[in-house]
Amino acid sequence: MAWQSRLLPVVEGDISGAEPLMREALTQARRSVAERLAQGSEAADPKALADAYGRLGVLLLLLEVENPADAALRNAARLQPLEFRWPYYSGYMAMLAGNTDRALADLRRAQEIDPAYRPLEVHLGRVLLERSTLADARAVLEPVASVAGLSASADYYLGQIALLERRYPDAVDLLTRSLEADPKALGTHYPLAQAYRALGQDALARTHLEQFEMIVPFPADPRIVEMKGAVQRSIPAFERGLEAVRKGDYRDAERLFGEGLEVVPDNAAARISLARTLYLTQQPEAAERELQRAVATDPSQALGHLLLGVLALNRGDQDAASVPFTRATEADPRQAGALFYLAGLDFAAARWAKAAEGYRQAVAIEPALGPAKLLGVVAAFRAAQSSEDPTRQALAALTELRESVPQDPQIGYALVCLLCAAPDQRLRNPEEALSIVDELLQTIPAPPLQRARAMALAAGGRFEDARALMRETLSAALWGASNAVVDLIKEDLAAFERNALPEPWPVGDPMLSPPPLDATAVFRDYPAVDPY
């Protein structure tokens, strides 16, 4: 009662889903707080009580129980109002959780206490970038871009700012400098590839994309090292495994998930996480064995079934893949990824109506599945055998899609091709098609878009110009485009030689087909609702 007016209550959140070791650590941390509170407000040592609250707060944050964690850290700050680490830890964890409002407020408070602590400026710049206040972020990051230990991270975020501001040469310079300072931060390759692609340097873009892994540069931050060291003994193996995954250290994550499973071998979700680390350390057979064990232990683990389907699909066994994908949807009818892959199997087998419905269901659950929207339109069009009404519907759907993502090359490509060679000539509009494709070609001068431009020229009666462009495109495509694209260009050129238009959406067109499977990306990036 003596503390009622001074401190916030730290409610006991639901930690039933936490593994036993974490629950034990939290129980000990709460007991430590309670013992010090029981001493009374006059006898208690404010520093010891603040440390106890801080330890409890960090453990709660690791479990993402944000409100109790926030209360615990704010109590620590009330007991030690001039102690830098409490608002700093809170701001750092809020940043990782994506709570930019709280992260900004706490980091600003920490900066008031110790304005000389430079690593804070990198985290603050990241938060401001995530809030899209680019000028403020740049102003914070530029002064630390030359500080040893901070330059790689500062340049990484400054490069992203330049990319968003379409200052592509600056983005290349900044991201290259970041990568030179921290070559192990393979995540820098992705924005660098984006910058090169925007500059039309596709070969360099592909080179960097091939090297991409989700490992971003992290500033040298003694305070965060201190915090992690202080709670390390209380963080159970699974949580430390997740932290290793966030850092891209999959070998260490494999070890830690294995240690945790020795304690709780029936934790199927954790076994799936172990399987993911095994795959990412080039052990696909071991990964499959762990996934099979996980779904045998708990058949409701939809993610385990989905990843088994991905392994089968990666081997090229589409029939085998359909079984675990179907089981994933049975375990969780809202498993959008499994619906997407099942629709892809139907698409590949020319089961157009079924594929269209599958894509529709996937998008209804996860609107961010961009390829599913386009592929659903293509499948529905083919299912209806290209009669007038489906063509009108496809044109309307593509126009709406393009309004939401005007720079998407696949949507623009599909719309241009249909405007040029729609089965009903009354629905063709070569002038609009040429306008759309010319806009896209300004930033993405790829062979498929050159093909679409040639179709627009031919649809407008300029067959000689279309033939010349296709010969030029074919010559360029022979040096790097896929065989499917080269064959498509050859077929179009033959049609133009006859003064005829090709089909708008031929089966086998890579731009109108499901994207190639990247199993590594799925195992690395697919979200796990419950990773253990």
- 346 in Cβ contact with 358 (< 8 Å): yes
* pLDDT of 171 strictly over 60: yes
* pLDDT of 152 strictly over 70: yes
Rounded mean pLDDT, 160-186: 96
* pLDDT of 233 strictly over 50: no
pTM for this structure?
A: 0.58
- 244 in Cβ contact with 252 (< 8 Å): yes
Phi/psi for 82 (5° steps) reads -105, 10
Pure H helices in 63-164: 66-79, 85-97, 100-113, 119-130, 134-141, 151-164
Residue of 531 and 495 predicted with greater confidence = 495
Residue of 309 and 407 predicted with greater confidence = 309
Residue of 531 and 147 predicted with greater confidence = 147
Of the pLDDT bands very low, low, confident and very high (cuts 50, 70, 90), residue 388 is low
| Terminal alpha carbon distance of the chain | 38
Residue of 414 and 16 predicted with greater confidence = 414
- Distances in Å between the alpha carbon of 452 and those of 407, 409, 455? 15, 11, 5
pLDDT for residue 97: 78
Instruction: Name the DSSP letter for residue 504.
Output: S
* Residue 520 burial class via C-beta count within 10 angstroms: exposed 0-12, middle 13-18, buried 19 and up: middle
- Looking at residue 397, its amino acid is A
CA dihedral sign, ordered 317, 320, 325, 328: negative
**13-17, 334-338, 352-356, range with the lowest pLDDT:** 13-17
Tokens, residue 321: 């893949």
The tens digit of pLDDT for each residue in 417-435 reads: 999 999 889 999 999 999 9
pLDDT for residue 203: 94
Distance CA 394, CA 379 (A): 10
pLDDT for residue 20: 64
Four-point Cα dihedral 263, 268, 273, 279, nearest 10:
110
**18-32, 208-222, 223-237, range with the lowest pLDDT:** 223-237
pLDDT for residue 21: 62
| Percentages of the chain per state (helix, strand, coil), in multiples of 5 | 70, 0, 30
* pLDDT of 41 strictly over 70: no
Rounded mean pLDDT, 336-346: 97
Of the pLDDT bands very low, low, confident and very high (cuts 50, 70, 90), residue 479 is confident
Tokens, residue 93: 């964890």
* pLDDT of 85 strictly over 80: yes
- Looking at residue 321, its amino acid is A
Distance CA 233, CA 223 (A): 17
Distance CA 50, CA 75 (A): 7
Taking all residues of the chain, what is their mean pLDDT, rounded to a whole number? 90
pLDDT for residue 383: 92
Give the number of residues written for the chain. Answer: 532
- Looking at residue 111, its amino acid is Q
**139-153, 164-178, 467-481, range with the lowest pLDDT:** 467-481
- 422 in Cβ contact with 395 (< 8 Å): yes
Q: 3-state SS string over 207-262?
A: HHHHCCCCCCCCCCCHHHHHHHHHHHHHCCHHHHHHHHHHHCCHHHHHHHHHHHHH
Percent of the chain surpassing pLDDT 70 = 95
pLDDT for residue 154: 97
User: Among all chains, which residue has been given the structure tokens 């007016």?
Assistant: 5
Closest CA to 15 of 58, 68, 73, 65: 65
* pLDDT of 214 strictly over 90: no
Q: What is the largest CA-CA distance in the chain?
A: 96
Of the pLDDT bands very low, low, confident and very high (cuts 50, 70, 90), residue 76 is very high
Rounded mean pLDDT, 227-238: 60
* pLDDT of 228 strictly over 70: no
**64-68, 107-111, 125-129, 134-138, range with the lowest pLDDT:** 64-68
Tokens, residue 143: 């002064």
pLDDT for residue 234: 45
Rounded mean pLDDT, 402-409: 90
Rounded mean pLDDT, 222-239: 67
- Distances in Å between the alpha carbon of 391 and those of 28, 396, 410, 416, 452? 66, 9, 18, 13, 18
Distance CA 99, CA 101 (A): 6
Q: 3-state SS string over 413-479?
A: HHHHHHHHHCCCHHHCCHHHHHHHHHHHHCCCCCHHHHHHHHHHHHHCCCHHHHHHHHHHHHHHHCC
pLDDT for residue 405: 87
Going from the N-terminus, what domains does the chain have, and what CATH number goes with each?
Answer: 299-383 (1.25.40.10), 411-509 (1.25.40)
